Amino acid sequence: MKRPNTIVYGVDDKPPLAITVLTGLQHAAVLSIFLLFPVLVCREAGLSAEKIVDVLSFSMLVIGMGAIVQTLSRGPLGSGFLCPPSFGATYMPASFLAIKTGGLPLMFGMTVFAGLVEMALSRSLRRLRPYFPPEITGFVVVMIGVTLGTLGLRSAVVPDAAGNINLLQLSVAGIALTTMIALNVWTKGALRLFCALIGIAVGYAAAAAMGLLPATDIARLGTAPFFHLPNISHLGWSFDTALVVPFAVAALATILRAIGDITVCQKTNDADWVRPDTRSLSGGAMANGLSTLTAGMLGTMGTNTMTSNVGLAAATGITSRIVAYAIGGIFLLFAFMPKTATIFAIMPRPVVGAALLFASSLVFINGLFIITSRMLDARRTFVIGLSFMLGLSVDLFPGLFAGLPAGVQVFTSSSLVLGTLSALLLNLIFRLGVRRTQALVVDPASHDSQETEDFLSTQGAAWGARRDIIERANYTLRQSIETIIEACDPRGPLEIAASFDEFNLDIRVSYMGPSLELPDKSPTTDEIIDSEAGHRRLAGFLLRKLADRVEALHKSGRTTILLHFDH
């Protein structure tokens, strides 16, 4: 692993104590914003403010422990990176459904189940890859954004029983949201970094000024003790098979998000990063599963890795896992300080709405980026397009599925569940007959490297291959043809065959002539300059590094170079 220039303190470094604590506080501030999700589910369950403080104390314990466990880098648990968890929209629809059906005990019980599902899935990531391609990961993120946005609108607009909108509440939401967006768009540094937190604070002030922050809530903050042991009277667990599908889908969405976040951690920390490290992905997903399981056991909602904190670590250049210990320590301390939890427990509803709307925009666009990282062919267009519309139908036409049998209604319980299931099913159907092969013959005497590039680019677009993989394969193929022609003096044409099956791109270059040298180590600079052999070794070294797997076979005078790229 080679540290990029942008990283000040890498994952294995030990920053000075002051920097560790300050960076830990910065991360803790960002993670705290997401405590509004447990607040939302507790309010949906009709829990009193005192009990919400207890739930938040346990929620902080879960974040603290999760941040530390995620840093483990040996064995099956932990990604080895600074990638702390918090609460997000992924478990919102399923948690709301559980509260409606069986109250908080059912939500806690099903969260334990979801944690177990996450842990089980984390062990089979490689085998499951064909069923969860990136466009489906992106689609799930988009649907989470839609869910967040819908919830945010409902919280911000707050119509009364007659459907009239409360303009005062709408104003508070507007002020909070405008602050967040303005700071995010027009400022830099700390103001931009903490735009959500500052927006929430401004929202509190506006709510207090407009009389929307009840005096009892303010008094509660004053009377909350500095230290206490959280009460466990809200704890209880139950299980309902009807909720297996919504929670399993949420667990799946969480795994997909963890894969995305940990991949970014790997790239951020390694300038030589070429492909995801499966052990780290699997361990990270397993660690988050353990956090979700612990969350259910301690009486709060499921967790997911936080993209915002992964971004924060990259932006500050401090990715040391020591910072995760600081985050853990801060939250373990906050968990026993009810004043901190009370601040979040009394958050006015329009402020919650503003924060959700702000987060939904970022999540939605993040999802779109992941989807468009693929070249979208006709199959993917329909997988994403149809599933999106089907998912939205749950919110647009709430009565549409009311007549279905109860057993089927679990599949239509939220836009996230229906959309994800539809995408998974359509993806399975469209996988039929996906492996395709194309051939090209190159004459060494009149070789035009542009022709090779056009061949692979055209095929890549037709196959719907990822742009970054096609670009890497293109470079590797052009470099191998150039080296073969320059160094191996091939007799007759070079025969090239490229085949693609969604998860593998294999290129076979076959010619009559001696084999290529594919060394593991780069030649020295003097060797490269002083001799043609050194230059050829550099070319061979690049081929070995650029392809995910490379092999040279030589038989009866014919050499075959096999270049494999994971897709």
Question: 206: closest CA among 184, 182, 174, 166?
Answer: 174
Residue 2 backbone zone (phi > 0: left; psi -120 to 50: alpha; other: beta): beta
Give the number of other Cβ atoms within 10 Å of residue 504's Cβ: 15
| Helix ranges (DSSP H) in 270-348 | 278-298, 307-316, 321-334, 338-345
x/- contact string, 517-536, with other proteins (CB under 8 A)? -----x--x--xx-----x-
What DSSP designation does 414 have? S
Beta carbon nearer to other proteins, 361 or 479 = 479
Beta carbon nearer to other proteins, 59 or 459 = 459
Smallest distance from the beta carbon of 444 to other proteins, in angstroms?
Answer: 12
Does position 542 bind other proteins by CB under 8 A? Answer: yes
Beta carbon nearer to other proteins, 160 or 272 = 272
Residue holding tokens 């540290």?
3
Beta carbon nearer to other proteins, 479 or 560 = 479
Beta carbon nearer to other proteins, 268 or 414 = 268
> Rounded CA gap, 516 and 275, in Å?
24
> Rounded CA gap, 217 and 32, in Å?
19
Contact region for other proteins (CB under 8 A) — 88-96, 110-118, 234-242, 443-451? 443-451
> Given CA atoms 523, 525, 526, 528 in this order, what sign does their dihedral have?
positive
Question: 69: closest CA among 58, 78, 61, 81?
Answer: 78
Smallest distance from the beta carbon of 526 to other proteins, in angstroms?
Answer: 9
The C-alpha torsion from 253 through 258 and 264 to 269, rounded to 10°, is 180
Question: 319: closest CA among 258, 259, 365, 271?
Answer: 271
x/- contact string, 269-308, with other proteins (CB under 8 A)? --xx------------------------------------
Measured CA to CA in angstroms, residue 524 lies from 519, 521, 537, 545 at distances of: 12, 9, 10, 16
> Rounded CA gap, 374 and 567, in Å?
10
Contact region for other proteins (CB under 8 A) — 112-120, 335-343, 505-513, 539-547? 539-547
Smallest distance from the beta carbon of 540 to other proteins, in angstroms?
Answer: 9
Beta carbon nearer to other proteins, 63 or 496 = 496
* Amino acid occupying residue 510: S
Q: How many residues bind other proteins (CB under 8 A)?
A: 26
Beta carbon nearer to other proteins, 202 or 543 = 543
Smallest distance from the beta carbon of 554 to other proteins, in angstroms?
Answer: 22
x/- contact string, 246-275, with other proteins (CB under 8 A)? -------------------------xx---
Beta carbon nearer to other proteins, 415 or 476 = 476
Q: What angle in degrees, to the nearest 10, is found between the helix axes of 378-396 and 415-430?
A: 160
| Helix ranges (DSSP H) in 70-166 | 92-122, 125-128, 134-157
Beta carbon nearer to other proteins, 233 or 531 = 531
Beta carbon nearer to other proteins, 448 or 551 = 448
Beta carbon nearer to other proteins, 193 or 470 = 470
Question: 423: closest CA among 470, 459, 370?
Answer: 370
Smallest distance from the beta carbon of 490 to other proteins, in angstroms?
Answer: 14
Does position 558 bind other proteins by CB under 8 A? Answer: no
Residue choice 450, 520, 555, 556 for contact with other proteins (CB under 8 A): 450
Contact region for other proteins (CB under 8 A) — 11-19, 350-358, 370-378, 444-452? 444-452
Residue choice 449, 457, 499, 515 for contact with other proteins (CB under 8 A): 449
> Rounded CA gap, 196 and 176, in Å?
9
> Rounded CA gap, 385 and 244, in Å?
26
Does position 539 bind other proteins by CB under 8 A? Answer: yes
Q: Residue 492: how many CA atoms within 13 Å on its side-chain side?
A: 11
Reading the block at residue 92, the tokens are 């919102």
Strand order in the sheet with 558-566: 436-442, 491-500, 504-512, 558-566, 549-555
x/- contact string, 459-498, with other proteins (CB under 8 A)? ------------xx--x--xx--xx-xx------------
| Binding interface with other proteins (CB under 8 A) | 271-272, 448-450, 453, 471-472, 475, 478-479, 482-483, 485-486, 522, 525, 528-529, 535, 538-539, 541-542, 545-546
